[in-house]
């Protein structure tokens, strides 16, 4: 909320409106001063103007606005005030500074309290459009849907509609400016605005079918959600088209210790429509580069007759064994494979085509002890509680995309690649992308984004983008973390898997899972991968 302190930060000059040479009857608005340095670091963040209008500072120096009236549900109307064509731009800079950095705004206010210099030519304030008085978002939406208003009216009417709020805030009111309707939290759980000069009357393009790959021997189900009727895909990875994705509650939650979990069911079909035609779950769909030829093992484990963990871990070896042998160093082959199996079932990517990802809600609330700390939730408790829960604990994470205060539903998202990405998008909207990615683990090694510098990256964003673009960098995350984290390599060499789990995941519960995977792979290794004994020398 803005108070009278914001009024003292009003710039003394505004962008003048001058006549455009050779264009009678038209005018050109000159660019205002550059965006204040204090605001540059807040690019992408939102502030509230004292009413029900939530603004966002853009890195270009522009401001976008979303109006959220009391009756709004999923509909919102947006406007954009640019640094090149709006006389309100300097005032918005002052308002944003007051909202985002009150101390800096107060200092600026004191500095500007000195006797003013000779007055510069003042900009002619544009007259408010007729719709500014008694402007109704609902009415405008009705006009828009009936075709009597174009999208450009969104900007012209909304800028007029908020002009009174802006003017009151910067002219020295003694209290916050309250506009009718619901006042959002400090970050504004509003929908993204849509901008354009003309309504889009073109036919929407049909969504492109996603091309993915089903791993060898993947479980193919006849019906989504029904795990009783299944068969196996061919032994070799099979290119498929994803026809549909459904996200359903997991019948037996076994994602970590989560009691609530979801899972994606993808309807896939091979080109001939017969080799593969059915539904696959998480782990049954990935990108083609997850099977890059240079990753594969030279000696393969026959999969005929194998099932469950033995089959899964044999497939990981066949697909990634060459890579594992090149990078494992002092780690035993079975141990390196077991860690990869426990972390991600050996997959670098998922059915969303993004890296395997898990978003950790409690880290978004507060993870100040991380190498790249985050305390966004602790600083924005109301907004956090409106969209995520809980504050602490690694399990039973839920999100509310609409907002709890707006009657939205809470959705668990672990186990579903689709919902994990939705949770990251929501956190990105509320905070920013870097903050969101610091709070997620991704890649085949499930390394937290907050460990980006340990992995050799400058930021979590850089790390995620690298792992998204290169399967080798994706896989490297696991072994780089083990090599650079004190105690991790020694714990694996000593077969102290509980200690390694504590170092790597913060939980000793991973120890038995790694030990079981090692025990499963060891006899397969001895039977199929042992080098033949050298022939005895002839006398």
- Residues whose CB is less than 8 angstroms from the CB of residue 447 and which lie 6 or more positions away in sequence, other chains included: 441, 455, 463, 477, 478, 480, 481
C-alpha 361/C-alpha 374 separation (Å) is: 11
Going residue by residue through the chain (539 aa), what tens digit of pLDDT does each one get?
Answer: 222 223 333 223 333 323 333 333 333 333 445 566 666 667 667 666 554 456 666 656 666 665 444 444 433 445 556 655 455 666 667 777 777 776 655 555 554 444 444 444 443 333 333 333 343 444 444 444 444 433 333 334 444 444 444 344 334 333 333 333 333 333 333 333 333 333 434 444 444 568 999 998 889 999 998 888 889 899 889 999 999 999 988 876 555 556 678 889 999 999 999 999 999 988 889 999 999 999 999 999 999 899 889 999 999 999 999 999 999 999 999 999 999 999 988 999 998 899 999 999 999 999 998 999 999 999 999 999 999 999 998 888 999 999 999 999 999 999 899 999 999 999 999 999 999 999 999 999 999 999 999 999 999 999 999 999 999 999 999 999 999 999 999 999 999 999 999 999 888 888 999 999 999 999 999 999 986 544 444 54
CB atoms within 10 A of CB 240: 27
- Residues whose CB is less than 8 angstroms from the CB of residue 145 and which lie 6 or more positions away in sequence, other chains included: none
- Residues whose CB is less than 8 angstroms from the CB of residue 189 and which lie 6 or more positions away in sequence, other chains included: 68, 383, 386, 387, 402, 403, 405, 406, 430
Check residue 148 and give its pLDDT. 43
Per-residue 3-state assignment (H helix, E strand, C coil) for 391-444 = CCCCCCCEECCCCHHHCCCCEECCCCHHHHHHHHHHHHHHCCHHHHHHCEEECC
C-alpha 226/C-alpha 237 separation (Å) is: 23
Name the burial class of residue 110, with classes exposed (0-12), middle (13-18) and buried (19+) by CB atoms within 10 angstroms of its CB: exposed
Which of 93, 528, 117, 483 minimizes the C-alpha distance to 305? Answer: 528
Q: Which residues make beta-bridge pairs with 239?
A: 213
Q: Which residues make beta-bridge pairs with 219?
A: 232
Sequence spans of domains, the chain = 4-112+123-170, 206-285, 357-484
Check residue 255 and give its pLDDT. 52
Check residue 377 and give its pLDDT. 96
**Quick check: 83 and 207 in contact, CB under 8 A?**
no
Instruction: Name the 3-class secondary structure at 248.
Output: strand
C-alpha 361/C-alpha 438 separation (Å) is: 11
Check residue 394 and give its pLDDT. 85
CA 15 → CA 29, 30, 34, 538, distances in Å? 7, 6, 11, 97
| Structure-block tokens of residue 252 | 């037996």
- Residues whose CB is less than 8 angstroms from the CB of residue 532 and which lie 6 or more positions away in sequence, other chains included: none
Half-sphere exposure in the Cβ direction for 186 (13 Å, CA): 18
Q: Look at phi and psi of residue 256 and say left if phi exceeds 0, alpha if psi is from -120 to 50, else beta.
A: left
Check residue 168 and give its pLDDT. 40
Which of 369, 402, 367 minimizes the C-alpha distance to 388? Answer: 402
Check residue 296 and give its pLDDT. 95
- CA angle in degrees (0–180, nearest 5) for 299-304-306: 95
Give the position of tokens 């994705």.
Answer: 245
**Quick check: 16 and 25 in contact, CB under 8 A?**
no
| Structure-block tokens of residue 296 | 């594969």
């Amino acid at each position: 909320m803005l108070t009278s302190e914001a009024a003292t930060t009003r710039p003394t000059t505004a962008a003048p409106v001058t006549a455009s040479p050779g264009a009678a009857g038209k005018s050109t608005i000159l660019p205002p001063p550059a965006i204040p340095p204090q605001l540059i670091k807040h690019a992408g963040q939102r502030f509230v103007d004292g009413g029900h209008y939530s603004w966002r500072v853009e890195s270009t120096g522009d401001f976008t606005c979303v109006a959220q009236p009391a009756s709004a549900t999923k509909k919102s109307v947006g406007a954009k005030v640019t640094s090149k064509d709006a006389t309100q731009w300097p005032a918005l800079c002052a308002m944003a500074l007051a909202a985002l950095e009150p101390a800096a705004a107060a200092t600026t206010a004191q500095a500007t309290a000195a006797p003013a210099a000779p007055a510069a030519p003042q900009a002619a304030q544009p007259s408010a459009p007729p719709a500014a008085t008694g402007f109704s978002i609902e009415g405008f939406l009705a006009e828009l849907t009936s075709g009597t208003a174009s999208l450009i009216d969104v900007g012209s009417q909304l800028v007029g509609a908020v002009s009174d709020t802006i003017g009151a805030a910067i002219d020295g009111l003694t209290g916050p400016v309250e506009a009718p309707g619901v006042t959002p939290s400090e970050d504004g759980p509003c929908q993204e605005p849509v901008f354009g000069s003309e309504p889009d009357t073109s036919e929407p393009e049909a969504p492109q079918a996603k091309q993915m790959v089903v791993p060898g021997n993947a479980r193919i189900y006849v019906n989504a959600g029904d795990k009783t009727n299944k068969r196996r895909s061919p032994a070799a990875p099979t290119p498929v088209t994803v026809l549909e994705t459904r996200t359903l509650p997991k019948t037996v939650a076994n994602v970590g210790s989560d009691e609530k979990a979801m899972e994606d069911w993808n309807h896939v079909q091979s080109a001939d429509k017969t080799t593969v035609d059915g539904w696959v779950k998480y782990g049954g769909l990935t990108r083609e580069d997850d099977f890059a030829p240079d990753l594969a093992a030279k000696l393969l484990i026959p999969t005929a007759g194998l099932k469950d963990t033995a089959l899964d871990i044999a497939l990981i070896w066949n697909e990634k064994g060459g890579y594992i042998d090149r990078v494992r160093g002092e780690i035993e082959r079975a141990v390196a494979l077991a860690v990869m199996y426990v972390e991600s079932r050996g997959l670098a990517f998922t059915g969303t085509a993004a890296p395997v990802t898990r978003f950790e809600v409690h880290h978004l609330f507060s993870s100040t002890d991380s190498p790249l700390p985050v305390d966004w939730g602790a600083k924005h408790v109301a907004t956090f509680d409106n969209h995520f829960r809980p504050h602490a604990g690694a399990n039973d994470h839920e999100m509310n995309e609409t907002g709890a205060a707006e009657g939205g539903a809470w959705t668990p998202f672990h186990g579903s690649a689709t919902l994990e990405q939705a949770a990251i998008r929501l956190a990105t909207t509320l905070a920013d992308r870097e903050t969101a990615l610091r709070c997620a683990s991704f890649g085949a090694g499930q390394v937290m984004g907050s460990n980006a510098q340990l992995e050799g990256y400058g930021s979590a964003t850089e790390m995620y983008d690298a792992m998204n673009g290169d399967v080798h960098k994706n896989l490297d995350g696991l072994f780089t973390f083990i090599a650079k984290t004190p105690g991790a390599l020694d714990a694996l060499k000593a077969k102290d898997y509980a200690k390694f789990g504590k170092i790597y995941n913060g939980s000793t519960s991973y120890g038995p899972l790694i030990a079981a995977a090692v025990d499963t792979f060891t006899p397969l290794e001895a039977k199929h991968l042992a080098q033949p004994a050298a022939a005895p020398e002839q006398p």
